[in-house]
Amino acid sequence: MKSWNLLLYNRSLFFKLCCSLLFVLLLGAVSPLFAQESVFKHPITEKSFPPALTELSRQIGGFQSMRSDFVQTKKISVLKFPLITKGHFLYAADYGVIWKINTPFEAELVITSAGYFERKNGELLVVTPAGAKPQIQSYLNAFLLLFSGRFEELQQLFSLSFLQSGKDWVVGLTPKGRLAKVIQNIQLSGSLAARVKNLSIKEVNGDFTQIQFHDTAYSTQSLSEADQKLFQ
């Protein structure tokens, strides 16, 4: 895990940064309405899936795409100051996810169900088919499930928790299996109309990351041909 701590300074380590997007919790990312109560005190099972979470899943799943600017703050135990990156995020239901970092360096990671690849200045740098690293791909697929609202399918990899108060909601994920040795928990929070605001993750070693989404736009329309080419 310590190798992840240097990824902001090395393009080849950019992929590890994006993997960590899946797996870190910053308590400050949670809505103030939940400051007094942890989402993990409200676990759910397949037999007790709450109607509110089912409705949230339906709402998120109704969008074909989500575009947003993001600010990621990652605090690492061996570094005095947090690492901050900024960029643009695109989720497309039929294609995958693109993380594009603009500051403090430029890099891009494209995640699809068929695999993932890094790109810089339009040039492919690293292409990894899904079968080449199945464990990593399964984690990345979980990321796709999370942003598509397919929470029931996530139960194969995580124990789920859910808390809603007024317009605000939080989904908590506690990993199962090998991932539990690295990640303590994950939270995705937002407001009504399935507006995602924060993704936060806490690692077992104490490192944590907060990703805040802003200027977010949702669409029920299919991607344009130009956007489709971004996933190729």
For 72-102, write each residue's pLDDT tens digit: 999 998 888 899 999 999 999 989 999 999 9
Of residues 68 and 6, more confidently modeled: 68
Is the pLDDT at 142 greater than 60? The verdict is yes
Beta bridge partners of 214: 69
Pairing of strands 83-92, 168-175: unpaired
Q: What whole-number distance in Å separates Cα of residue 200 and Cα of residue 181?
A: 18
> What is the average per-residue pLDDT within 180-190?
89
pLDDT of residue 37: 58
pLDDT-derived band at 126 (thresholds 50, 70, 90) equals: confident
Coil, strand or helix at 101? strand
Lowest mean pLDDT among 182-191, 193-202, 221-230: 193-202
> Which tokens is 107 given?
């890099």
Is the pLDDT at 193 greater than 70? The verdict is no
Query: What pLDDT, in 10s, does the model give residues 28-73?
Result: 334 444 444 589 999 998 778 899 899 999 989 899 999 999 999 9
Please report, to the nearest 10 degrees, the dihedral formed by the alpha carbons of residues 28, 32, 35, 39 taken in order: -90
Coil, strand or helix at 226? helix
Is the pLDDT at 173 greater than 50? The verdict is yes
Coil, strand or helix at 63? coil
> What is the average per-residue pLDDT within 17-31?
38
Is-contact 162 42, C-beta < 8 A?
A: yes
Phi, psi of 26 (to 5 degrees): -115, 120
pLDDT of residue 35: 43
Q: List the domains of the chain with CATH numbers.
A: 2-229 (2.50.20.10)
